[in-house]
Chain A
Amino acid sequence: MNSQPIVRIEKLAKRFGEIEAVAGVDLEIVRGELFALLGGSGCGKTTLLRLLAGFETPDAGRILIDGQDMTGVSPHLRPVNMMFQSYALFPHMDVAANVAYGLRRERVPKQEIRTRVAEALALVKLDGHGARRPAQLSGGQRQRVALARALVKRPKLLLLDEPLAALDRKLREGTRFELVRLQEQLDLTFIVVTHDQEEAMSMASRLAVMDAGRIAQIGTPHELYEHPASRFVADFIGIANILDLGNGQWLALRPEKITLSIGRPDMAQAISGEVVDIAYEGDRSLYRIAVKGGPVMLVSRTNTVRTSEEAFRRGQTVWLGWNNDAGQVLDG
């Protein structure tokens, strides 16, 4: 396998009027990884994807795909395919024609087109649906047609713009694993844009958190969760208690890293507070605890025992304890 990165983005910038959509991004994506671009709306993740596909022209910087400079290369000549958030299926063509579209443009022989379309449809478990129109399919089936259409050209790089956003919750979880399976089975490189941190964390081998056109942090899901580089990342991914340590230093402490007890715990850090609110979520309960003279902190507790209701009552004074390595110290 080639160790050269499949994508290399250098000092990429794009602005729309007053808005800096992408403001100097450097990024390398390794061959065969499932990379997620995560961020809130307007953070520039979709613009970055569109720059990769060639639908937008960068104001500065450049993109190399498989070592080739993509500057000035039209979308139809790029070795990438994209799965659109709206799926963008051609409504006047049946499923097979949609999937075959890219191969027809390459003037692949008819017989080969037929076998490759059948293969692609089988891959997304839509065998026998070739003659249907997109309008006759369910949302989940349409999503799979879009995927098959993008995969059938065997691109070096597949771009997925919010691939699961239009699906309902149950379907989303199943499809998530399905996408990872396909990516591993076909040994392709995926770049997934999403605003859903749970989605990004569970799918990606690495992810980048974007904020205001810049990359806030790149790392594995574990690195981003346990070792956030900034208060923004700590706050954006999961839930974090951010405590002021003074001297411009902060401690990001995850709710599940804190233990609750009636008596003072034998831990490096211990403070007491009053339970102000309990949110029961079934698998766990989230406690909001007002620390005396301090902030309101969030503590989560796994509900391992079925019989009792909540271990602590509202209004009760409890102790919060954690070890010194439980949180991440941040400088900004």
Chain B
Amino acid sequence: MGRKSAAGDLTMRAVIALPFAWLILFFLLPSALVLAIALGTNAPDAAPPVELGWSLANFGLLFTDDLYVAAWLSSLRIAATSTLAALLLGYPMAYAIARTRPERRPLLLMLVVLPFWTSFLIRVYAWMGLLAENGILNQVLRWSGLAAHPGTILGTEWAVHLGIVYGYLPFMVLPLYATLEKLDWSLLEAAADLGARPIAAFFTVTLPLSLPGIVAGCLMVFIPAVGEFVIPDLLGGTGTLMIGKVLWDEFFTNADWPIASAVAICLLVLLVGPIALFQRQQARSLERR
């Protein structure tokens, strides 16, 4: 490499500065704003309805009020079980795509991401149509005589799980596919050659080697699922308690900005852990290559 020109150096700096500027402007600054609001107190008559200050009362409330604690716990539980379900469903899909002939894979992958061509909100509404009391599912059940008086899935936690698994499945399948596609299949032949039954070969070779994909896929489903609002709001009904919904209610129904902001900050901090874990995993798998 020759000496860099001053103009080239400047361009270089500008290229690096651009994403930083973007992050500061649209991520760091808004986050700081939200934090500032969270430290303030509610002032219903002001506009915006906040009186700035240095109060930790809002955060204190989050850990003492049963509603918030219950919402946190149920969010984590629903996100965890949905992630597990998405993994159990997504792994065989990714595996099957990775093992089909290379020329057929793009088509199958396209089918995986095809739902993204329709708005997420519309697709969740479609599930309402499917799962409602007089929805398509129940009509089919009644018509076919499988169940004369079927229960209603809509408005239960089952519907929330269904919605999350449906909505986030591509985020599980794609990273899994990426690792499985790189897997050297001769390793499985070697395992078989050394006396491993197919199931043993899977658990001793395929599964450990696809662990980076499993971690990536699970985090990509789990992280957004914890804070999910649309799905529990539309499919979950009143019985489902999730933190994203609580946040929305505080903000729009109660117009309590500081509490809503405190919830948002907590959500952020809670999710930084898994994201950091994810990044470390990525860095380590890069190193290994």
B205 at interface, CB cutoff 8 A: yes
Q: How far is the CA of A80 from the CA of B194 in the complex (A)?
A: 9
Within 8 A of B (CB), among A219-258: none
Within 8 A of A (CB), among B192-217: 192-198, 200-201, 204-205, 208-209
Question: Which one of A84, A86, A135, A153 lies within 8 Å of B195 (CB-CB)?
Answer: A153
Segment among A23-31, A100-108, A121-129, A196-204 that sits at the interface with chain B: A100-108
Question: Which one of B184, B208, B209 lies within 8 Å of A86 (CB-CB)?
Answer: B184
User: Given A84-B186, A92-B209: A105 and B195 within 8 A (CB)?
Assistant: yes
Closest A residue to B196 by beta carbon equals A105
Task: Kindly list chain B residues whose C-beta atoms are within 8 Å of the C-beta of A80.
Answer: 193
Interface size class of A (residues with CB under 8 A): 20 to 34
B61 at interface, CB cutoff 8 A: no
Task: Kindly list chain A residues whose C-beta atoms are within 8 Å of the C-beta of B196.
Answer: 76, 101, 105
B190 at interface, CB cutoff 8 A: yes
Question: Which one of B194, B208, B288 lies within 8 Å of A81 (CB-CB)?
Answer: B194
Cβ A101 vs Cβ B194 within 8 A: yes
Q: How far is the CA of A90 from the CA of B190 in the complex (A)?
A: 9
Question: Which one of B190, B193, B200, B208 lies within 8 Å of A92 (CB-CB)?
Answer: B208
Interface of B: prevailing SS: helix
Closest A residue to B194 by beta carbon equals A102
A329 at interface, CB cutoff 8 A: no
Cβ B195 vs Cβ A88 within 8 A: no
Cβ B205 vs Cβ A90 within 8 A: yes
Q: How many A-B residue pairs have CB under 8 A?
A: 60
Cβ A153 vs Cβ B194 within 8 A: yes
User: Given A92-B208, A101-B204: A75 and B192 within 8 A (CB)?
Assistant: yes
User: Given A101-B194, A135-B288: A88 and B186 within 8 A (CB)?
Assistant: yes
User: Given A90-B205, A91-B209, A92-B209: A102 and B195 within 8 A (CB)?
Assistant: yes
Question: Closest CB-CB distance, A54 to chain B, in whole Å?
Answer: 8
Q: How far is the CA of A74 from the CA of B204 in the complex (A)?
A: 18
User: Given A88-B186, A88-B187: A76 and B208 within 8 A (CB)?
Assistant: no
Cβ A74 vs Cβ B191 within 8 A: no
Question: Which one of A77, A81, A86, A150 lies within 8 Å of B186 (CB-CB)?
Answer: A86
Q: How far is the CA of A90 from the CA of B187 in the complex (A)?
A: 7
Task: Kindly list chain B residues whose C-beta atoms are within 8 Å of the C-beta of A101.
Answer: 191, 194, 196, 204
Question: Which one of B189, B205, B288 lies within 8 Å of A75 (CB-CB)?
Answer: B189
A37 at interface, CB cutoff 8 A: no
Cβ A75 vs Cβ B193 within 8 A: yes
Within 8 A of B (CB), among A59-77: 74-77
Q: How far is the CA of A106 from the CA of B195 in the complex (A)?
A: 7
Question: Which one of B193, B204, B288 lies within 8 Å of A82 (CB-CB)?
Answer: B193
Task: Kindly list chain B residues whose C-beta atoms are within 8 Å of the C-beta of A150.
Answer: 193
Cβ A105 vs Cβ B200 within 8 A: yes
Closest B residue to A106 by beta carbon equals B195
Task: Kindly list chain B residues whose C-beta atoms are within 8 Å of the C-beta of A90.
Answer: 187, 190-191, 205
Q: How far is the CA of A131 from the CA of B194 in the complex (A)?
A: 20
Question: Closest CB-CB distance, B193 to chain A, in whole Å?
Answer: 5
Task: Kindly list chain B residues whose C-beta atoms are within 8 Å of the C-beta of A106.
Answer: 195
Cβ B193 vs Cβ A76 within 8 A: yes
Cβ B195 vs Cβ A76 within 8 A: yes
Closest A residue to B209 by beta carbon equals A92
Closest A residue to B211 by beta carbon equals A92
Task: Kindly list chain B residues whose C-beta atoms are within 8 Å of the C-beta of A75.
Answer: 189, 192-193
A38 at interface, CB cutoff 8 A: no
Within 8 A of A (CB), among B147-199: 184, 186-187, 189-198
Cβ A55 vs Cβ B288 within 8 A: no
Cβ B184 vs Cβ A149 within 8 A: no
Task: Kindly list chain A residues whose C-beta atoms are within 8 Å of the C-beta of B205.
Answer: 90
A320 at interface, CB cutoff 8 A: no
Closest A residue to B288 by beta carbon equals A135
Cβ B195 vs Cβ A53 within 8 A: no
Question: Which one of B184, B197, B288 lies within 8 Å of A76 (CB-CB)?
Answer: B197
Q: How far is the CA of A50 from the CA of B194 in the complex (A)?
A: 14
Q: How far is the CA of A53 from the CA of B186 in the complex (A)?
A: 13
Q: How far is the CA of A81 from the CA of B189 in the complex (A)?
A: 11
Q: How far is the CA of A149 from the CA of B189 in the complex (A)?
A: 14
Q: How far is the CA of A88 from the CA of B190 in the complex (A)?
A: 6
Cβ B192 vs Cβ A88 within 8 A: no
Interface positions of B (Cβ within 8 A of A):
184, 186-187, 189-198, 200-201, 204-205, 208-209, 288
* A–B Cβ pairs within 8 angstroms, 26 of them: A53-B189, A54-B192, A55-B189, A55-B192, A74-B192, A76-B192, A76-B193, A76-B195, A76-B196, A76-B201, A80-B193, A86-B186, A88-B184, A88-B186, A88-B187, A88-B189, A90-B187, A90-B205, A92-B208, A101-B196, A102-B194, A105-B195, A135-B288, A150-B193, A153-B194, A153-B195
Interface positions of A (Cβ within 8 A of B):
53-55, 74-77, 80-82, 84, 86, 88-92, 101-102, 105-106, 135, 149-150, 153
With contacts A82-B193, A153-B194 known, what are 17 further pairs, Cβ within 8 A? A53-B193, A54-B192, A55-B189, A75-B189, A76-B194, A76-B196, A76-B197, A76-B198, A84-B186, A88-B187, A89-B190, A90-B205, A101-B191, A101-B194, A101-B196, A102-B194, A105-B195
10 nearest A-B pairs in the assembled complex, by CB-CB distance? A102-B194, A88-B190, A105-B195, A75-B192, A88-B186, A76-B192, A82-B193, A105-B196, A92-B208, A76-B195
